[in-house]
A and B are shown apart, each in its own frame.
Chain A
Amino acid sequence: MSKDRKFDFKDVETLQKYLSGHGLLLSAKRTGLSAREQRRLKRAVKYARFLALIPYTA
């Protein structure tokens, strides 16, 4: 059984792989993540945006 991925808001390079050119989060269909992983990714992206590590929009 595969372990769920966890996302860290400080890991900007990883987060940017899941963002579009305009800084929007890609859909689960495109990221290929499970629903739980996609939710974790969403939260990490929002924390990183709040801390100005990644842009809200580009």
Chain B
Amino acid sequence: MNEHKHTYQAMFLLDNQEVRQGFTAARDWVKSTLEKHGLDVKVLRLWGERPLTYKIRGRRRATYLLGWLEGSGESVNKVKREMYLLGPVFRCLFLQEDEIPAEELAFGVEDVDESALVIPEDEPEPEFEDFIEVEESEDGVRTTATKAADDASKAAAETKAAADTKDAGEAKAETAGEDKSGETVAATAGDAEEKKDDE
């Protein structure tokens, strides 16, 4: 089969749990996997350890490894297939490039002082106190979320009841005006206003 050789830039996301056990071991696994499938590793270096902008299978942080390689597209596919099944790599990207930049070529397969490589722990899930806080009651366990919902419904019921009593007073005044003379209408209307003021 005619295999064309290309230059690739590759980025690997390494699982921090594996990197904590040894960065060099994780990097060597990547290097050996690439070479096993016929890729020539020109550069393989630590690009950084940083937070992910979105969670990938529960991970919030990752160690990024940057590589420059030469080989065939077939080899790249084989490497991808293996990396997604085994090892510390949980995501990788291969991009075909024209050439390797001189400043990158200077890095080579870079060694890292593992004692200087500090990998922070993943931050725990943020707690939503309004929903997590639990209070005991006679009925059993209730969360504050349900309590807040109850308070809101009570407040709504109170405002509705107040509006109903107001409407009832107005309706009473109207019916009295229809039945009786103008003076009584004025009197009942006055009473209604006084009641409102009292309320």
Q: Which residues of B contact A52 (CB under 8 A)?
A: 13, 52-54, 56, 62, 91
Query: Chain A contacts of B52 at CB under 8 A?
Result: 52
Q: A47-B93, A47-B95 are in contact. Are A53 and B53 (CB under 8 A)?
A: yes
Task: Give B90-107 as 1s and 0s: 1 = Cβ < 8 Å from A's Cβ atoms.
Answer: 010101000000000000
CA distance A53 to B49 in the complex (A): 11
- Chain B residues within an 8 Å CB radius of A41: none
State the CA gap A42–B54 with chains docked (Å). 19
DSSP class of A's interface residues: helix, strand, loop or mixed?
loop
The distance in angstroms between the C-alpha atoms of A45 and B53, with both chains bound, is 13
Chain A residues whose C-beta falls within 8 Å of the C-beta of B66 in the assembled complex: 10
Q: Known: A55-B53, A55-B54. Contact between A50 and B93, CB under 8 A? A: yes
Bitwise interface map of B from 36 to 77 toward A, beta carbon under 8 Å scored 1, else 0: 000000000001001011101000001010100000000000
Chain A residues lying within 8 Å of B50, measured Cβ to Cβ, are: 53
Confirm or deny: A25 has a beta carbon within 8 angstroms of a beta carbon on chain B. no
Which of chain A's residues have a CB closer than 8 A to the CB of B56? 52
Q: Measured between alpha carbons, how far is A56 from B53 in the docked complex, in Å?
A: 9
Contact with B along A19-58 (1 / 0, CB 8 A): 0000000000000000000000000000100111111100
User: Cβ of B11 < 8 Å from any Cβ of A?
Assistant: yes
CB proximity of A36 to chain B, nearest CB, Å: 16
Complex Cα distance, B93 from A52, in Å, reads: 12
4 closest A-B pairs (Cβ-Cβ)?
A52-B52, A55-B53, A52-B53, A52-B54
B interface, CB within 8 angstroms of A: 11, 13, 47, 50, 52-54, 56, 62, 64, 66, 91, 93, 95
Interface residues of A (CB under 8 A from B): 10, 47, 50-56
17 contacts between A and B (CB under 8 A): A10-B11, A10-B47, A47-B93, A47-B95, A50-B91, A50-B93, A51-B64, A51-B91, A52-B13, A52-B53, A52-B54, A52-B56, A53-B50, A53-B53, A54-B53, A55-B53, A55-B54
